């Protein structure tokens, strides 16, 4: 079976390479890879498996669509222009305070939803405008937004990688507050000041002159009310979890978007804006759908099992050495699927040698978040480029992450290696 | 025709094919009904909604089978299909309904505790939709479902699942996991209503002990075992000792006090009944396996797992013989029988005893002989599950 599945893996890799050579998009190349994987395994075109895999990330796709539409409505209404001007006028002389506020703004949405993409979509664009006003270079702006969004996904209370792994290993999702919270805050401050103190702040007048004027009639309450409604959708189920039926975050974003549209001082053609939003998101949604299909086929033909076995069969030292590369790569290829394929057996393996799974999983989360900048999916990296308006080469902004990347990698890996000693953090 | 239009037509065709072809296959699983023949031990049937009318008409409602000896004694509840992707529990429950003969007290068997979950497979799991066991009269076919309730019946998931009543935070999808929703909420989501109905059943029928049957990964430390709270630890230990000495290795794991929502914790904390959760090793569930096929589910043979076993990575014995459905379903019945025997020693005024083929018989003869032919069954004794 080993040889057979290894040949399937090679055939899938060759299909991907050929599709890329034929200049097909990343999404179509992954689809080709999945189809070849199924055909070579003698499964023909497995329609049910393709359909089933395609909806694996349906909930995340719905969040992307509704969150982006919400932010686009706020933007079109002039709310972002208004907000950026006010924040900049109020804090431009107190750079450190402003930077910490921006960091918290970035961390909160992802911490509450578990999706760094939500941080990027909801506040990434606004934060980027303020950072530019502080004189940061475009690639540093994108790097800072990406890294803080990634850390927001790691932050408690909701960490999807940890939740997927704990659900699959029957470990309760408890005791993660400090093992996740402490490194996220420490690394968040490092990232914020590493980039934030570099630029030379421009004078207020010239910055304001470059910023678009918000429409007449725009007021703080018009901008704030939709965000308050969204905050209520996120907070109420946690404060009174048994008082209401589960509505889900997409409904929260949709309702907040509707409110922003209703309160807009400008008339907004919502159908046109919805179409533009879908155009903007199509590559990202395509990636999520295709990755689900790929994982389904990899499970069907045994390639997933082979990859999983390869990781856990390594000697412990080799596992530790491989983590900084393998975990980000698995996230880059499979997004959250990496936690299911590698996280579950890895946690069992580490647990069996006496390591504490809670700090270990917290460390792994820090490594997985880095993979959101890596192809073929580059989920948060691509959203960052879209939301911040970064126009440079993609790899330039990724390269400018090198030092924080190294620090986060070291922190994550050491948390896994010394997870037993970090057990005191698990309350 | 430009290349772009051609590509779009191709994509549209593939989408339509998946929608129609894949959809029809999924509908086939959703609507398939298994045939179960009520055996001579069955004295009555009921529905879970009899204990919580709010379940009536939903996909959470399911059949109950009463096997009453007519002799005084206690009551045991045996749950199959809590996680429908662990089908040995469903197979064992079917055999119990078709073959068990109560000798003292009463048995209540639920073959599909999570009926909703048995009607959909898991995205990215690449499961077969059905498994079939050969018999002398044809094949006994079972649905191979998901671990969670079908999203068609309970959706959307919250960002984080807050367990009732402990408020412990669990993975968001666990809100559809009926072994994370004990003791349930009568006005909650479907999985919570299922838990509330089962708790009401336990109270109203004065259930003494509950056996919740499962399959577990071989890479999972809690496998090959009985999970029991303090109240049931001695009974579980004695049952494990007896079985390990006579039939197969099984050990006891304590129910963690901090792990909320699971049957072995919440039933103990919220009722007079003593819960036991049985884990039999199911290779199909492990991540590092070859293709996920019906054969893997039935014979449990896998070369990748064998390699993992040779490297000492598994938490149970594993060799070329695999872990067959016969062994796994047989373990559930033999452990349940043994738990009843030990329970009766500790509680002579609430004896529960029954006979039923189990591990030794299944390993020797296969499972086929223990399923009754629906075509040859007496009128009114066939139930569609």
Cα(B154)–Cα(B59) distance, integer angstroms: 10
Count structural domains, chain B: 1
Which residues of A are less than 8 Å from B308 in CB distance?
A: 309, 312-313
If residue B230 lies in a helix (H) or strand (E), which one and from where to where? none
Domain CATH code at residue B215: 3.40.630.10
Does A29 contact B at CB distance below 8 Å?
Answer: no
Q: Coil, strand, or helix at residue B75?
A: strand
**B281, part of any domain:** yes
CB contact under 8 A, B220 and A348: yes
**B-interface mutation test, from A53, A158, A348, most B Cβ less than 10 A away:** A348
**B80, part of any domain:** yes
Residues of B (19-48) whose Cβ lies below 8 Å from A: 19, 21-23, 25-26
Cα(B362)–Cα(B46) distance, integer angstroms: 28
Residues of B (244-273) whose Cβ lies below 8 Å from A: 256, 258-260
When pLDDT is averaged across residues B280-295 and rounded to a whole number, the result is: 94
Which residues of B are less than 8 Å from A252 in CB distance?
A: none
Contact A56, A336 (CB under 8 A): no
Residue B229: pLDDT over 90: yes
Does A59 contact B at CB distance below 8 Å?
Answer: yes
The pLDDT value recorded for residue A170 is: 66
Residue B135: pLDDT over 90: yes
Does B325 contact A at CB distance below 8 Å?
Answer: no
Which residues of A are less than 8 Å from B222 in CB distance?
A: 170
Q: Which of A298-302, B155-159, B354-358 has the lowest mean pLDDT?
A: B155-159
**A-interface mutation test, from B151, B187, B288, most A Cβ less than 10 A away:** B288
**B10, part of any domain:** no
Whether cis (ω within 30° of 0) applies to the bond prior to B183 is yes
The pLDDT value recorded for residue A343 is: 85
Token representation of residue A10: 């090679």
In percent, the amount of chain B with pLDDT more than 90 equals 89
The pLDDT value recorded for residue A344 is: 81
Token representation of residue A190: 């490092």
The pLDDT value recorded for residue B1 is: 62
Length of chain B: 385
The pLDDT value recorded for residue A122 is: 80
Q: Which of B14, B162, B173 sits opposite A241 (nearest CB)?
A: B162
Which residues of B are less than 8 Å from A251 in CB distance?
A: 156
**A350, part of any domain:** yes
Q: Binning pLDDT at 50, 70 and 90, where does residue B3 land?
A: confident
The pLDDT value recorded for residue A377 is: 84
Cα(B325)–Cα(B363) distance, integer angstroms: 9
pTM of full prediction above 0.95: no
Q: Which of B123, B129, B217 sits opposite A292 (nearest CB)?
A: B123
Q: Using one digit for the tens of pLDDT, what is the confidence trace for A34-43?
A: 999 999 999 9
The pLDDT value recorded for residue A311 is: 82
Count structural domains, chain A: 1
**A64, part of any domain:** yes
Q: Using one digit for the tens of pLDDT, what is the confidence trace for A76-118?
A: 999 888 887 888 888 888 899 999 989 998 998 888 777 888 8
CB contact under 8 A, B171 and A167: yes
Q: With a cut of 50, which residues of chain A have pLDDT below it?
A: none
Pair type for strands B35-37 and B382-384: antiparallel
Q: Which of A48, A169, A172 sits opposite B168 (nearest CB)?
A: A172
**A32, part of any domain:** no
Residues of B (167-206) whose Cβ lies below 8 Å from A: 167-175, 177, 185, 188-189
When pLDDT is averaged across residues B84-93 and rounded to a whole number, the result is: 98
Residues of A (194-223) whose Cβ lies below 8 Å from B: none
The pLDDT value recorded for residue B52 is: 98
- The position carrying tokens 């009722």 is B271
Min Cα distance A405 → chain B (Å) is 28
Does A169 contact B at CB distance below 8 Å?
Answer: yes
What is the span of the domain harbouring residue B344?
Answer: 63-384
Distance of CA B47 to CAs A30, A389, B39, B115, Å?
47, 59, 18, 12
**B-interface mutation test, from A67, A168, A172, most B Cβ less than 10 A away:** A172
Per the prediction, chain B carries an average pLDDT of 96
Distance of CA A205 to CAs A88, A133, A209, Å?
11, 11, 6
Q: Binning pLDDT at 50, 70 and 90, where does residue B4 land?
A: confident
Contact A187, A144 (CB under 8 A): no
**B56, part of any domain:** no
Contact B209, B313 (CB under 8 A): no
Q: Using one digit for the tens of pLDDT, what is the confidence trace for B264-286?
A: 999 999 999 999 999 999 999 99
Token representation of residue A145: 């937004």
Cα(A171)–Cα(B71) distance, integer angstroms: 42
- The position carrying tokens 């072995």 is B264
Which residues of B are less than 8 Å from A348 in CB distance?
A: 217, 219-221
Q: Coil, strand, or helix at residue A125?
A: helix
Scanning every residue of chain B, which has its alpha carbon at the shortest distance from the alpha carbon of A308?
A: B288
**B246, part of any domain:** yes
Cα(B227)–Cα(B224) distance, integer angstroms: 10
Q: Coil, strand, or helix at residue B313?
A: coil
Q: Is B216 left (phi over 0), alpha (psi -120 to 50) or beta?
A: beta
Pair type for strands B274-281 and B209-216: parallel
| Residue with more model confidence, B365 or A84 | B365
Scanning every residue of chain A, which has its alpha carbon at the shortest distance from the alpha carbon of B285?
A: A168
The pLDDT value recorded for residue B360 is: 97
The pLDDT value recorded for residue B203 is: 97
Token representation of residue B98: 């078709």
Which residues of B are less than 8 Å from A313 in CB distance?
A: 307-308, 311, 313
Q: Which of B263, B246, B218, B273 is nearest to B337 (CA)?
A: B246
**B325, part of any domain:** yes
Q: Coil, strand, or helix at residue B143?
A: strand
**A18, part of any domain:** no
**B34, part of any domain:** no
**B165, part of any domain:** yes
Does B70 contact A at CB distance below 8 Å?
Answer: no
Q: Give every CB contact of residue A334 below 8 A, 6+ residues apart in sequence.
A: A291, A294, A295, A340, A341, A377
CA B323 from chain centre, in angstroms, equals 17
Contact B37, B374 (CB under 8 A): yes
Cα torsion at B279, B284, B287, B293 (round to 10°)? -170
The pLDDT value recorded for residue A258 is: 96
CB contact under 8 A, A50 and B167: no
Contact A241, B162 (CB under 8 A): yes
What is the span of the domain harbouring residue A221?
Answer: 46-425
CB contact under 8 A, B159 and A113: yes
Residue B68: pLDDT over 70: yes
CB contact under 8 A, A167 and B173: yes
Q: In A264-377, which residue ranges form alpha helices assigned H by DSSP?
A: 270-301, 303-312, 316-334, 337-338, 344-352, 357-370
Residue B380: pLDDT over 80: yes
């Amino acid at each position: 079976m080993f040889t057979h599945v290894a040949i399937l893996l090679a055939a899938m890799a060759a299909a991907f390479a050929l599709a890329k050579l034929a200049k097909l998009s990343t999404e179509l190349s992954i689809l080709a890879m999945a189809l070849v994987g199924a055909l070579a395994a003698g499964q023909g075109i497995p329609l049910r498996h393709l359909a089933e895999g395609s909806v694996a990330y349906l909930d995340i796709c719905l969040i992307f669509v509704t969150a982006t539409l919400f932010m686009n409505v706020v933007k079109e209404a002039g709310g972002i222009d208004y907000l950026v001007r006010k924040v900049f006028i109020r804090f431009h002389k107190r750079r450190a305070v402003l930077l910490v506020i921006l960091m918290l703004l970035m961390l909160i949405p992802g911490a509450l939803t578990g999706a760094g993409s939500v941080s990027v979509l909801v506040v990434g664009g606004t934060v980027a405008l303020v950072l530019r006003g502080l004189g940061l270079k475009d690639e540093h702006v994108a790097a800072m937004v990406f890294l803080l969004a990634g850390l927001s996904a790691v932050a408690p209370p909701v960490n999807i990688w940890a939740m997927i792994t704990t659900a699959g290993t029957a470990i309760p999702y408890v005791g993660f507050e400090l093992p996740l919270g402490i490194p996220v805050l420490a690394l968040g401050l490092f990232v914020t000041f590493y980039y934030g103190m570099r630029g030379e702040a421009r004078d207020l007048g010239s910055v304001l002159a470059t910023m678009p004027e918000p429409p007449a009639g725009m007021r703080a309450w018009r901008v704030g009310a939709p965000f308050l409604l969204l905050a209520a959708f996120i907070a109420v189920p946690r404060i009174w979890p048994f008082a209401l039926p589960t509505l889900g975050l997409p409904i929260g974003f949709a309702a907040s978007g509707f409110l922003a549209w209703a309160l807009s001082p400008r008339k907004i053609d919502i159908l046109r804006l919805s179409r533009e939003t879908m155009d903007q998101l199509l590559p990202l949604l395509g990636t999520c759908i295709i990755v689900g299909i790929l994982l389904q086929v990899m499970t069907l033909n045994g390639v997933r099992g082979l990859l999983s076995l390869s990781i856990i069969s390594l000697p412990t030292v080799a596992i530790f050495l491989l983590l900084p590369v393998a975990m980000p790569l698995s996230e880059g290829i499979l997004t959250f699927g990496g936690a299911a394929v590698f996280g579950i057996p890895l946690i069992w393996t580490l647990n069996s040698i006496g390591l504490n799974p809670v700090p270990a999983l917290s460390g792994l989360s820090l490594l997985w978040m880095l993979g959101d900048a890596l192809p073929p999916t580059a989920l948060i990296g691509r959203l960052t480029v879209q939301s911040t308006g970064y126009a440079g080469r993609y790899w330039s902004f990724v390269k400018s992450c090198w030092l924080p990347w190294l620090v986060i990698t070291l922190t994550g890996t050491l948390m896994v290696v010394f997870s037993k000693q970090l057990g005191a953090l698990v309350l | 025709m430009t290349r772009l239009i051609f590509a779009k037509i191709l994509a549209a065709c593939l989408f339509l094919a998946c929608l129609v072809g894949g959809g029809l296959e999924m509908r086939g699983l959703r609507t398939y009904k298994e045939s179960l023949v009520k055996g001579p031990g069955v004295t009555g049937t009921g529905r879970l909604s009899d204990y919580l009318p709010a379940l009536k008409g939903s996909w959470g409602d399911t059949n109950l089978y009463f096997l009453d000896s007519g002799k005084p004694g206690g009551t045991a509840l045996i749950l199959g299909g809590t996680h429908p992707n662990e089908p040995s529990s469903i197979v064992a429950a079917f055999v119990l309904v078709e073959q068990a003969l109560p000798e003292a007290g009463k048995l209540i068997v639920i073959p599909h505790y999570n009926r909703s979950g048995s009607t959909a497979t898991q995205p990215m799991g690449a499961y077969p939709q059905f498994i079939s066991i050969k018999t002398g009269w044809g094949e006994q076919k079972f649905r191979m479902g998901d671990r969670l309730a079908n999203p068609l019946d309970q959706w959307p998931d919250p960002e984080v699942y807050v367990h009732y009543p402990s408020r412990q935070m669990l993975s968001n999808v666990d809100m559809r996991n009926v072994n994370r929703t004990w003791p349930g909420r009568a006005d909650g989501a479907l999985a919570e209503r299922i838990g509330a109905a089962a708790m009401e059943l336990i109270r109203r029928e004065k259930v003494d002990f509950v056996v919740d049957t499962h399959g577990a990964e071989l890479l999972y430390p809690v496998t090959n075992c009985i999970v029991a709270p303090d109240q049931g630890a001695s009974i579980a230990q004695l049952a494990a000792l007896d079985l390990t000495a006579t039939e197969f290795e099984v050990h006891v794991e304590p129910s963690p006090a901090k792990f909320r929502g699971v049957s072995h914790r919440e039933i103990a904390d919220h009722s007079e009944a003593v819960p036991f959760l049985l884990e039999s090793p199911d290779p199909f569930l492990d991540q590092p396996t070859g293709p996920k096929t019906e054969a893997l589910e039935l014979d449990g043979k896998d070369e990748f797992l064998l390699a993992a076993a040779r490297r000492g990575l598994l938490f149970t014995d594993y060799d070329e013989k695999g872990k067959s459905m016969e062994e796994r379903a047989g373990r559930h019945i033999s452990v349940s029988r043994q738990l009843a025997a030990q329970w009766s020693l500790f509680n002579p005024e609430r004896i529960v005893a029954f006979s039923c083929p189990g591990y030794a018989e299944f390993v020797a003869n296969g499972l086929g002989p223990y399923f009754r032919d629906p075509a040859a069954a007496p009128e009114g004794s066939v139930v569609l599950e």
